[in-house]
Amino acid sequence: FGSRLHLLESTSSTQIEAIKLAEEGAEAGTLVISDMQTNGRGRLGRNWFSPAGKGIWMSLVLRPELPVRFMPQLTLLTGVAVCSAIRKVTGVEAGLKWPNDILVNGRKVCGILLEAATEDNKVRYCIAGIGIDVNLSELDYPEDLRSIATSLKIESGTSVSRSRLIGEVMNQLEARYLQYENEGFAPILKEWEALSASIGKQVRSVTLNQVIEGTAIGLSDSGGLMVLTEEGKNSTIFSGEVEIIQ
């Protein structure tokens, strides 16, 4: 992974560049990195703050031979790989918030966005977008992000080499991807649980038609978040946003 590299100074979104390359036939493992993004995209239609020189904004082309319904597993796999890489390179105790945010001390340090092009319920290609706040200082953040976002530099007290971290993320992703092909999802699920910042916590999920509140107790086989509600009912959350209450 990452041996075919497109390094950009600025782009609207590395997702858009990677989708273009994938449509033109780029092979799996093709990586697009940009020093800044003018229109970085987040999950659920949100914007992703992507200032120059301070973060890792990158998108990886994947071509898994998978039915679409396995995409959530790939999303969790990506989270495990990035979280492990952050821990290894920086020593910072990063944790996973379901489905795939990476938090340090309750604040978000990394966001992951998987977008797939599909055909007949199969994945044609998938773009794994990874945004890591590496060397931002408190003052680099707009006010509305200051209390919810953080960077590896803020948390570790020193600047972190972006190229080293990118290299480690690619190593980890490649290793997990192979493991997934050979051993299936079970080992990744275990790792996700071990790196989780959600499990054991009180969580709330609000979707269009229901509110689920309770203690997160683990992942289901397909990658949903299992919650034990106060009434003693087991519910599994499959999509949307989950808030950690305490």
Q: Which stretch binds ligand BTN (CB under 6 A): 10-18, 146-154, 201-209, 233-241?
A: 10-18
Per-residue string for binding with ligand BTN, 20-59, x by CB under 6 A? -----------------x--xxxx--x-x-x------xxx
Tell whether the torsion through CA atoms of 201, 55, 79 and 23 is positive or negative: positive
Q: Counting beta carbons within 10 angstroms of the beta carbon of residue 202, is it exposed (0 to 12), middle (13 to 18) or buried (19 or more)? A: middle
Beta bridge partners of 136: none
Size of the site for ligand BTN (CB under 6 A): 21
| 108 marked among binding-site residues | yes
**CA dist list (Å): 170 to 23, 93, 189:** 22, 20, 19
Question: Which of 129, 134, 140, 168 is in the footprint of ligand BTN by CB under 6 A?
Answer: 129
Query: What is the contact mask toward ligand BTN in residues 68 to 107, using x (rule: CB under 6 A)?
Result: ---------------------------------x------
Query: Residue 246, SS3?
Result: coil
The reply, when asked if residue 43 is annotated as ligand binding, is yes
Q: Is position 140 an interface residue for ligand BTN (rule: CB under 6 A)?
A: no
Least Cα distance to 32 among 52, 64, 3, 8 occurs for: 8
Task: Identify which of residues 13 and 90 has a Cβ nearer to ligand BTN in the complex.
Answer: 13
User: ∠ CA 186-70-74 to the nearest 5 degrees?
Assistant: 70
Start-to-end CA distance of the chain, whole Å, equals 37
Residue nearer to ligand BTN on the CB measure, 195 or 214:
195
Q: Which residues bind ligand BTN (CB under 6 A)?
A: 13-15, 37, 40-43, 46, 48, 50, 57-59, 101, 111-113, 129-131
Binding residues: 37, 41-43, 108
